[in-house]
């Protein structure tokens, strides 16, 4: 993976550069932008462009990750996703009440009670999204 801009004679705009610097840091962003080089997956992991390296094919890795997520409580995943996206966009303060409602919904759910019971009984929880 790489950013071949320097080898194509183009310059990325301010927003694209800001996003890159935010994700990988200034030094890594400069290395990616100035070299135009294609980097190995291990380098991209070190830069922060990848979250993890999965064995096998990309599809096998995606399926393994999805199966991990499927073991989690749906209300927790949905709430965390909405809150994380709001924080990343910078509108979490404006949406504070809506986001707190997601937290409250999870704490008042049957899945929360199931998660507590499963933890105490040392077994896998059986979440139903309720």
pLDDT for the residue 104? 94
DSSP for residue 72: S
pLDDT for the residue 54? 84
Residue 5 to residue 82: CA distance in whole angstroms? 33
Where helices occur in 12-95 by DSSP H, the ranges are 14-24, 26-35, 41-47, 58-70, 74-89
Quote the pTM value: 0.68
DSSP for residue 2: B
pLDDT for the residue 112? 95
pLDDT for the residue 18? 94
Residue 51 to residue 82: CA distance in whole angstroms? 20
Residue 33 to residue 18: CA distance in whole angstroms? 12
pLDDT for the residue 107? 92
Mean pLDDT by 10 residues, the chain (130 residues): 90 93 94 93 90 86 89 93 92 93 94 95 93
Residue 79 to residue 67: CA distance in whole angstroms? 18
pLDDT for the residue 123? 95
């Amino acid at each position: 993976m790489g950013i071949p801009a320097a080898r194509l004679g183009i310059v990325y705009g301010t927003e694209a550069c800001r996003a890159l610097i935010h994700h990988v840091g200034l030094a890594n962003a400069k290395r990616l932008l100035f070299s135009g080089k294609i980097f190995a997956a291990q380098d991209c992991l070190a830069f922060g462009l990848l979250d993890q390296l999965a064995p096998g094919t990309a599809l096998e890795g995606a399926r393994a990750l999805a199966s991990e997520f499927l073991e989690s409580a749906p209300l927790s995943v949905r709430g965390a996703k909405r809150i994380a996206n709001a924080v990343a966009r910078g509108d979490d303060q404006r949406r504070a009440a809506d986001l707190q409602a997601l937290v409250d919904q999870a704490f008042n759910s049957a899945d929360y009670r199931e998660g507590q019971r499963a933890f105490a009984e040392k077994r896998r929880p059986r979440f139903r999204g309720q």
